[in-house]
Amino acid sequence: MATVQGTGNKATVRRLHDAIGGGVELIWQTIDEIVDPDVLFHAPVPTGATGAQALKQVWPVLLRAYPDLRVTVEDLVEEGDRVVSRNTVTGTHRGEYLGLPPTGRSVVYDEIFLYRFVDGRIAEIWGVVNVFSQLNQLGVITT
């Protein structure tokens, strides 16, 4: 039985990533279907929102800044009720982002997210995004 649950949880995380290529409406629909409305989201959210609304508010910001944003899953690991996704993110800065006007620069950065599931839905998320690398590539900070 654990294998079936594991496959389902991994498939759920993949479904979330696959929705990114379909635009904001598909992302929001997918969030409604697979994320608990009161999800605990342990990652910086500039809007101050909580729960599934926090996730919904992140995507329009990212897709305006990086309309060609792509998230490639490099590793997907499951242990019990948790799935870890290590991703590579790519995009071209074509819209305002964190107060920075478009630079036209391409970025490639890494992120890792840990998802905890309850009854087949994402109930808690921890995220680590390499914002330093992203801002360095945009020329905001230098190493």
Q: Given the DSSP bridges, would you call strands 70-79 and 121-129 parallel, antiparallel or unpaired?
A: unpaired
The tokens for 122 are 């994402």
- The answer as to whether 34 is a domain residue is yes
* pLDDT per position as a tens digit, 105-135: 999 999 999 999 999 999 999 999 999 999 9
Parent domain of 55: 2-137
Among 36, 40, 33, residue whose Cα is nearest residue 18: 33
Higher pLDDT, 2 or 105: 105
- The answer as to whether 32 is a domain residue is yes
Cα(142)–Cα(132) distance, rounded to whole angstroms? 9
Q: How far is CA 83 from CA 63, 68, 77, 79, 142, in A?
A: 25, 26, 6, 6, 34
Question: 80: domain CATH number?
Answer: 3.10.450.50
Q: What's residue 2's pLDDT?
A: 36
Q: Which H or E run includes 143?
A: none
Q: What is the DSSP letter of 97?
A: B
- The answer as to whether 142 is a domain residue is no
- The answer as to whether 143 is a domain residue is no
Q: Given the DSSP bridges, would you call strands 82-92 and 70-79 parallel, antiparallel or unpaired?
A: antiparallel
Q: In sequence order, which residues have a C-beta less than 8 Å from that of residue 1 and are 6 or more positions away?
A: none
* pLDDT per position as a tens digit, 19-78: 998 999 999 999 999 999 999 988 776 667 788 998 898 899 999 999 999 999 999 999
Q: What's residue 7's pLDDT?
A: 58
Domain count, the chain: 1
